[in-house]
A and B are shown apart, each in its own frame.
Chain A
Amino acid sequence: MNSMKQPKPAPRPVEVFPKGDLEIVMTRQFHAPRQHVFDAWTKPELLRQWLGVRGGWTMSVCEIDLRVGGAYRYVWHKASTGAELAMGGVYREIVPPRRIVNAETFDDPWFEGQCLVTLELDEKSGVTTCTLTARYDSVEIRDGILATPMATGVEESYAVLDSLLEVRKPDGFAGVRPAATED
């Protein structure tokens, strides 16, 4: 009988910081193998269980054609209000289970233009670090994100301010390598 209990994940919270003029970098760690994290991002039956499905939003469309030049399309729906949010794009680079680069465009007029998203997964001793880099091609798009109906209410937070002011190593990715993990 194999009744091995996985330890409850104790991840560090998401870190978000600006890089250069147009990029926003986000990192998060998961107590899971890289392949699992990759699958959770790329298999519709898994993705629709977690991405954007909060506060009554469900994913009514989740189509993924995982190949370079292939398209993906996500549509979220909120039954109580009838609101809908749709986005999609085309894959530019796919290196399973390490890296995906794709264009990202929202349908709604409050978010015109596109964003280039790079997902990088790095596994070390059972912990997978996920680095998501969003590169916006204009100020307007970045501002458009502020109007995202899915975004939560704003809480001005000095804790975030502190993290913004934290001194980091200049070359982003290497600078946010996770510290030793507790075993």
Chain B
Amino acid sequence: MIWVIHVLNGIAIGMLLFLLAAGLSLIFGLMKILNLTHGSFYLVGGYIGLTVMQRTGSFALALLAAAAAIALLGAVIERFVLRRFHLDELPQTLLTFGFLFIFADLSLWIWGGDPVMVRQPRILAGSLPMGDYGYPIYRLFLIAVGLVVAGALWWFQEHTRLGTMLRAGVDDAEIARALGIDVSLLFTLIFAVGAALAALGGVLAAPILSLYPGADFDALILAFVVVIVGGLGSLKGALVGALLVGLLDDFGKAFFPQFALFTVFVPMAFILVVRPTGLFGRR
């Protein structure tokens, strides 16, 4: 039974990592932007969810509002700032780094420095008895949400016109443009979707991982690890990488506690040695 709990737990955390990493990976795949502001999307999204939750008491509304607000924020940043430095990697990375600091300080100013937690919706609170142990219902819900989002993203990419355009854009933006695809609009759209995914991750993580100044950096590092393991630009890679990192982290901490600090980074280093592009990366 204890094994089942460790596996479930690894998957639940993996699903959170997937939400975080999927957006980062999508954005890089299409635009080649290494978006460091992604951490802010996660944290600010979580804080917006917190405020909505406090005002309305509705977790669903908190998720929606955070995703919508951060999607808009992402679209604005892409359209009016990053757009000016298309394919110019250094200025883009520095800009997104700068935004990370600005949003960190703005959040500290607005929401303060004490760690805060979003209350779990009542129906998801509590735990499911499993023999001697209990497993939190909320984490089972996380697994379900992760699967739904992964399925939706896959369907979007494989079976919609927009998804086809996205794949074309990832393969060769210039040719896609020549074929009449509005790559410019696509960029903004995908940037917004990626940002919204991070915000969803922030709100979903808040009831167990809490929100605090610095969570943006923590989330960013984990997202990078996942993307490095899975391969930049690949959704499948983000999913497999996230599950792998989640499980390794859980089992590592449970059975090799003295290596708790490295459970995430050792597999990453190993994969970089064996497959420098990540499990599903191209090039």
A binds B: no
Report A's interface with B, CB cutoff 8 A.
none
